[in-house]
Amino acid sequence: MKKIGILTSGGDCSGMNACIRSAVRTAIRMNIEIVGFRKGYLGLMKGDCIPLDTKAVSGILHRGGTFLQSARSQEFKTPEGRQLAMDNLKALGIEGLVILGGDGSLTGALELSKMGLPVVGIPASIDNDIPFTDMALGVDTALNNILYAVDCIKDTASSHARAFVIEVMGRHSGYLASIAAIATGAEFALVPEREVDLSEICQQLRVRYEEGRDNAIIILAEGAGKAQDIADAVKDAIGFETRVTVLGHYQRGGAPTVFDRLLASRFGKKAVELLVAGQNGMMVGLSCNTVLAVPIEDVIKGEKRPQDEMLRLAEVLGI
Ligand code: ADP
């Protein structure tokens, strides 16, 4: 293998830059040319790529987001779009591809691999719902961002005797909400995996209120309900002053944590090594602190990463 490519696709996350840097440095050490496609699959379909060397990836390790940029593309979901990408790859002499992204991007990667292109995927998604990896890239940084925000809000909540509903990302996954609730000592974590019983929440808050605890933090995964509805219900039931804070895209950005920098570096190196070893259609993953390779097909077909243990822990801790 003489020349490979790398791209970042779907939702961006912190650690993508560190991962690109690691893949580039690994490829260079192995005497392999590497190019980066801009804006994910869009760049692949346009043949929009830049050569990557150590200089191109210097000074990016500590930066959030992705300097190659990311995008979503409907056209790539069509056979014609993917054929365009394959034609460009052939014309550019690219023999393998490293793809960073969430489950959508990995599904796209699998399609390319079925068309004969050696592909290795890297799980990058703050929701941490990708099967066969304990952690995806960007999760730890997103959690630390949330922790900082919740700690700040707790200060003001206690000063003014208010209840806060804090909405975090997670349309289908309550991982961020449940871990953030455990790590900040929040009163409730509302997650899509568990039905939300508003009357039960209000009842518990009323008991707390009558005991003299006049502030509360409710962490809501965006897929578990509407923040304002929950805040209104709490206000109506208890007369508790409530506020809503939607953390939104703040969660995605920022300097990656040590954990994400290390994970990114390990994933990037392993992905290039797998490609060079002739592997195709694999995703790198972390299991028991070991970086391993699993077929993307299994990842796509697999059950979403179960959150049972964390949800049980939250329950035991009274969340
Ligand atoms: P994420 O990778 O973060 O889950 P998306 O689900 O939006 O984000 O997927 C990113 C991109 O991956 C899409 O815009 C599309 O180009 C590509 N993709 C998603 N699903 C498929 C699919 N079934 N077949 C081919 N490409 C896909």
Q: What is the CATH number of the domain that holds 245?
A: 3.40.50.460
Count of domains forming the chain: 2
Calpha distance 221→179 (Å, rounded): 11
Residue 303 has pLDDT above 70, yes or no: yes
Cβ-proximal residues to 285 (8 Å cutoff; 6+ apart), any chain:
123, 132, 133, 134, 291, 292, 293, 294, 299
The answer to whether residue 313 is domain-embedded is no
Question: Looking at the domain assignment, is residue 311 inside a domain?
Answer: no
Residues 95, 161 share a domain: no
Residue 102 CA: which ligand 1 atom is closest? 2
Q: Is 101 in the pocket of ligand 1 (CB under 6 A)?
A: yes
The CATH number of the domain holding residue 268 is: 3.40.50.450
The pLDDT value given to residue 311: 83
Q: What would the mean pLDDT of 40-52 be, rounded to a whole number?
A: 98
Q: Across residues 241-263, what is the average pLDDT? A: 97
Same domain, 176 and 87: no
Phi, psi dihedral angles at 183 (to 5 degrees):
-80, -15
Regarding whether 194 and 279 lie in a shared domain, the answer is no
Same-domain pairing of 114 and 225: no
Does position 204 have pLDDT exceeding 80, yes or no? yes
Range among 55-64, 150-159, 229-238 rated most confident: 55-64
**316 inside domain:** no
Say whether pLDDT at 307 is over 80.
no
pLDDT at 306 over 70: no
228-249: average pLDDT: 93
Q: Which amino acid, 38?
A: R
Whether 314 is covered by a domain: the verdict is: no
Residue 309 within any structural domain of the chain: no
Q: Is the CB of 12 under 6 A from ligand 1?
A: no
Specify whether 146 is located in the same domain as 235. yes
Residue 112 shares a structural domain with residue 260: yes
Q: What is the pLDDT of residue 14?
A: 98
pLDDT at 196 over 90: no
Classify residue 228: in a domain, yes or no. yes
Tell me: do 42 and 163 sit in the same domain. no
**Cα dist from 11 to 158, 190, 227, whole Å:** 34, 23, 23
The interface predicted TM-score (ipTM) is: 0.99
Same domain, 212 and 280: no
* pLDDT tens digits along 97-121: 999 999 999 999 999 999 999 999 9
For residues 60 and 126, membership in a common domain is answered with yes
For the segment 34-51, the average pLDDT, to the nearest whole number, is 98
127 counts as catalytic: yes
* Amino acid type, 64: G
Rounded to an integer, the average pLDDT of 284-306 is 92
Question: What is the band of 305 on the pLDDT scale with cuts at 50, 70, 90?
Answer: low
Checking phi first, is residue 318 left (phi over 0); if not, alpha (psi -120 to 50) or beta? left
Residue 315 scores a pLDDT above 90: no
Q: Which of 127, 129, 140, 260 is catalytic?
A: 127
Is there a single domain that holds both residue 116 and residue 168?
Answer: no
Structural domain that includes position 163: 142-252
Residue 125 lies in a domain: yes
Mean pLDDT rounded to a whole number for the chain: 95
Confidence label for 247 from pLDDT (cuts 50, 70 and 90): very high
Residue 308 lies in a domain: no
85 and 216 assigned to the same domain: no
**pLDDT at residue number 240:** 83
Q: Is 73 in the pocket of ligand 1 (CB under 6 A)?
A: yes
13 and 133 together in one domain = yes
